[in-house]
Amino acid sequence: MSETQSVHVIRGMKDLPSAHLLAGGTSMCAGCGGLQALHEVYDVLGAKTVFVNAAGCMTLLANYPFTPFRGSWLYTSMASAPAGAQGVRDALDILIAKKRIPPEEDLSAVVLTGDGAAYGMGLSATSAAIERGLDFLYLCYDNEGYGNTGQQASGATPHGARTATSGRGYSGFKKDLFAVWAAHRPAYAATAIGSEPVDLARKVEKAARIKGPRLIHALAPCPPGWDYDPQETVEIGRLAVKCGIWPLREYENGRIVHTRVPHPRVPVEEYLRRQGRFRHLFEPQRDEQALAAIQAGVDAYWSSAG
């Protein structure tokens, strides 16, 4: 195989418009908030990327030997995506050092995971990759449960949400993945949502200019898992920001800054009541105690955020 052919293998499939991420032929759910965010991220990053995709919902984008990505795509087990990104990054660095490919043929390593991998199974590998200073972008689409296998509870499931494994209300609390990353002192970390595309694009553009471990953590409204009409994805995403339950923030150089401060904040129940996973908090009778606890948690966050 010639060097040119080798580069083509690394690059992946023939260029396709980014709109193909939303085209037919994939097995994604209508109204998927994760796909909404991924489409916007990919519009910024472009073809010079290798997506290292941990097992999850987005795995359904690929039907071997084809993917909708103009760049390259690598599948890994749920816990192994950061290790896969390390291998990709090392291989590219070696090829460039040996002049097998020119520097302008370099690609960016992008880890793509759901919250099951990001919060749980893959957290150890992610922590190690950040500590090694791996030059990679970690994109988590967070639908707050193991969505690809029936919406079981994950470390991202919010308090009170109904899941396939928690019955009428999850008794635990959603981990703060952004804070976990910030504690590692990465090069950059940010939260985002596809319903706020300008904020998301700005953060991806900033992350693309930085070297080192970088996080884009996107809340991903999920019609089947959250039980709402797919056409409401954008509005539910906006409500998550407006009520303050999903803070838009970024970490850089040791500082955390909020990129959007909702003022005035709408009551959190306006966000909750649009989703069937919280219906038991309103029917057959209101659970005032649970609703007050969720609202108090949001209020406490913003009080401490100043």
List the chain domain ranges.
3-305
The number of C-alpha atoms within 13 Å of 223 and in the hemisphere containing its C-beta is: 15
Distance of CA 231 to the CA centre of its chain: 20
Return the CATH superfamily for domain 3-305: Thiamin diphosphate (ThDP)-binding fold, Pyr/PP domains (3.40.50.970)
- Whole-model pTM over 0.85: yes
- From first to last of its 306 residues, the chain has per-residue pLDDT tens of 333 333 333 333 334 344 444 443 456 899 999 999 999 999 999 999 999 999 999 988 888 788 888 889 999 999 999 999 999 999 999 999 999 999 999 999 999 999 999 999 999 999 999 999 999 999 999 999 999 889 999 999 999 999 999 877 999 999 999 999 999 999 999 999 999 999 999 999 999 999 999 999 999 999 999 999 999 999 999 999 999 999 999 999 999 999 999 999 999 999 999 999 999 999 999 999 999 999 999 999 999 986
Residues pairing with 109 in the sheet? 50
